Structure 1
Amino acid sequence: MPQIVNVHEAKTHFSRLLDQAHAGQEIILAKNGQPYARLVPLAAEPARRQPGRLRGQVDEAFFEPLPEAELAAWEGR
């Protein structure tokens, strides 16, 4: 459940609220008792893809066609 904080209190305790948001807590900032803004942590940036990361770990057998019995199992036949 998000914590609701009025603007005056938020100005007084801004550093503490930032620490709480960074820890994953959602904080709703209110103005005159009405929700006004949301303080949430930034989403982590997705990992960058690195071409060639599996070089030398996948052999040629990986690219051979699957046997008919295994294909049928994957396709639910």
Structure 2
Amino acid sequence: MTKLVVSISVTPIGTADTSVSKYVREVISILQKAGLKYRVGAGFTDVEIDSFETLAKLLSEFHTALTKMGVKRMSTLLTSSPP
């Protein structure tokens, strides 16, 4: 099966705290539960996916989790890389 490596950055906007570490931890937890291969970088997390449906589900889970943590706005950036 063909794999796609997607670099994802989800940035909370307008939170009271300038630290994003708790949000990064939550996203990593979601990736671990999904059993996906990933690599955390300075500004993006590279994730190996098998379909765009997987990507859509993952982004939805990220946004839902961060919203539950009180984030009202987010900026989401995606780019693809060769595996």
Shorter-normalised TM range: under 0.3
Higher relative contact order (CA 8 A, sep 6+): 2
Whose strand proportion is higher, 1 or 2?
A: 2
TM value normalised by structure 2 = 0.23
Name which one, 1 or 2, has greater alpha-carbon Rg.
Answer: 1
TM-score (structure 1 length as normaliser): 0.24
